[in-house]
Amino acid sequence: MECGIITSKTVLLILSLIFWAAGAALAYVGSYVLKSYTNFGDFLEDKYTLIPAAIIIGVAVVMFVIGTLGCCATLKESKVGLGLFLLILLVIFTAEVTAFVFGFIYRGKINGNLDQSMKDVFKKYDGQNAETRAVNYLQIQLQCCGIKNYTDWTTLPWFRGHNDSVPSSCCRANITSCTGQLDQPGLLNTQGCENKLVQLLQDVISYAMLVILGFAIIKFFGMLSVCVITCRKRRNNYHPLLA
Residue 130 pLDDT grade (very low, low, confident, very high; cuts 50, 70, 90)? confident
Q: Which fold has domain 123-195?
A: Cd81 Antigen, Extracellular Domain; Chain: A (1.10.1450)
Over residues 57-61, mean pLDDT: 82
- Which segments within 10-152 are labelled E, that is strand? none
Query: Which residues touch 197 (CB under 8 Å, ≥6 apart)?
Result: 40, 43, 114, 118, 138, 142
- Across the chain, what does the average pLDDT equal? 79
pLDDT for the residue numbered 144: 93
Predicted local confidence at residue 243, as pLDDT = 45
Q: Are 139 and 156 in contact (CB under 8 A)?
A: no
Report domain extents, the chain.
Answer: 2-110+201-235, 123-195
Give 163-170's long-range contacts (Cβ < 8 A, gap of 24+). 167/125, 167/127, 167/135, 167/136, 167/139, 169/135, 169/136, 169/139, 169/140, 169/145, 170/139, 170/145, 170/146
Mean pLDDT of 4-19: 72
| DSSP string of 176-228, one letter each residue | TT---BTT-GGGB--B-HHHHHHHHHHHHHHHHHHHHHHHHHHHHHHHHHHHH
Q: pLDDT band for position 143 (50/70/90)? A: very high
Q: What is the mean predicted confidence (pLDDT) over 56-74?
A: 78
